[in-house]
Amino acid sequence: MLEELFPRAHSRYSSLPILGEVLEELCKWLHSRGYPGAACRRRVAAAPMLEQLLRNQHVRSLCDCTESNLTTSVPKPRKWTAHMAHALGRSLMLYLKDIGRLSLPLLTASDRLVEAYCEYLKTVRGLAKATVEKHATIAAEFLQFLEPDDRLQSLDDLHVTDIDAFLTKAGKRLGRASMQKVAAVLRAFLDFLAAEERVPLGLAAHVDSPRRYRGERLPRALPWKTVLTLLDSIDRSNPKGRRDYAMLLLIATYGLRRSEVATLDLDDIAWRAQQIRVSRSKVGTPLLLPLTDHVATSLMDYLRHGRPDTPHRRLFLRVRIPLGPIEATAVTDVFETWAARAGIRLPSLGGPHCLRHSLAMHLLRQGKPLKTIGDLLGHRSVESTCVYLRLNVDDLRDVALPLPAAQEGQS
């Protein structure tokens, strides 16, 4: 394929000492993922620059190349060539990962400790993958704050002042709700370290959480008319609009989380049974929901006129190259883009999750029981459902009793 892209100069790239051996297969891999020839050509043209940057990091072979080498070799692009070298490095990293040739970095002592903690969370506590990842991130930040490469052998000297310093630093960039999660994770991590006899016992008891009050946040639900306005504002004359409308309609109809929308597969839609199967990462059990006519029509419109023809089984795919499944963050981008175009003012910490709140409030105002709403949202307790049902001022006005009429002769 290099000869097709560079009929006269292909040997210039295939002879590169580090990257030359993979450029031919990399081009074929990019082409299979939907990249046009021009995009492949631009990336290959930047190969000499990336080659020199890797050599500056003392990389002499792809066998020695790690993800860190490829992500840090090119600084933030300021010129076109550097931009394409950055794109080539990113594409090369994905390709080497795909074929299993990307060298793994050497694990530090702190990395091994975090891995052991993650294994404990999965096997002993049975936490979901997403929860384990959050624990791992905070635990790694804590060890990095302690300069683990120098201090890990003496964690038994860890003192409460070290913990307070970490929490103080984190508190400067996080709110009370986030700090509650940090404090909870830190307590669990310290308990794990104490059980492993790496830190003194009782340190976890000194980690205090910020005080928060139940229901202190303002309602995050949008008025239902606003939700309908948002859906109506989506332009469904193109593939992206058809996909975006189907995604947001699923959230507004069933109250799905963004991760649940992103991980839907084609096999999750049972057309004849008129059901949709939703995988719930939080509880590990699927939820079967009725496939409404409106949702079925929007999905069919997307599948017939918007979804790329690829072997991927995920329901919602990217509309730009590289073709492939969307991430959960794409659902947030879609929601915020169309909300901005519709001129909708979002509540604090809105995002697509506020559609989940909106549905719960809409069903409550229709007189639906809390148990029915909780079953639709996938909750195992009414306590979880009540979080979504904080009433606003308009609802409280309906609850207020009328003032008694004043009797004659009374002032």
Mean pLDDT by 10 residues, the chain (411 residues): 82 85 87 84 86 84 79 68 78 80 73 90 87 91 75 70 89 86 92 88 85 67 89 92 94 90 93 90 77 94 90 89 86 92 78 87 82 78 68 61 64 50
320 DSSP 8-state letter: S
Given CATH 3.30.2270.10, say whether it is the number of domain 109-206.
no
Known catalytic residue at 379: yes
Adjacency order of strands within the sheet including 287-290: 269-270, 275-278, 287-290
Helix (H, G, I), strand (E, B), or coil: what is residue 263? coil
Task: Judge contact between 378 and 287, C-beta under 8 A.
Answer: yes
Within 200-335, strands assigned E span: 269-270, 275-278, 287-290
Find the catalytic residue in 220, 242, 257, 357: 257
Catalytic status, residue 31: no
pLDDT value at position 148?
52
pTM: 0.71
Write down the catalytic residue from 353, 357, 362, 390.
353
- Structure confidence at residue 149 (pLDDT): 46
Tell me the C-alpha distance between 135 and 110, whole Å. 14
Q: Which residues contact 79 (CB under 8 A, 6 or more apart)?
A: none
Cα 325–299–330 angle (5° rounding)? 35
Q: Sort 331 into a burial class: Cβ within 10 Å, 0-12 / 13-18 / 19+.
A: buried
- Output the CA torsion sign for 127, 131, 134, 138: negative
Residue 368: what residue type?
A: K
Residue 203 pLDDT: 87
Fold of 224-396: hpI Integrase; Chain A (1.10.443)
Active site residue 120: no
**3-state DSSP of 178-204:** HHHHHHHHHHHHHHHHHHCCCCCCCCH
Q: Are 109-206 and 224-396 in the same CATH fold?
A: no
Instruction: Report which of 388, 127, 359, 70 is spatially closest to residue 228, judged by C-alpha positions.
Output: 359
- Domain boundaries, given as residue ranges, for the chain: 2-99, 109-206, 224-396
- Per the annotation, the verdict on 388 as an active-site residue is yes
Alpha-carbon gap, residue 328 to 97, rounded angstroms = 21
- On the 0-12 / 13-18 / 19+ scale of CB atoms within 10 A, 15 is exposed
- Rounded CA gap, 139 and 186, in Å? 7
The SS3 assignment for 265 reads strand
Annotation marks residue 95 as catalytic: no
- Evaluate whether 248 touches 234 at the Cβ level (below 8 Å): yes
Of 187, 243, 356, 362, the active-site residue reads 356
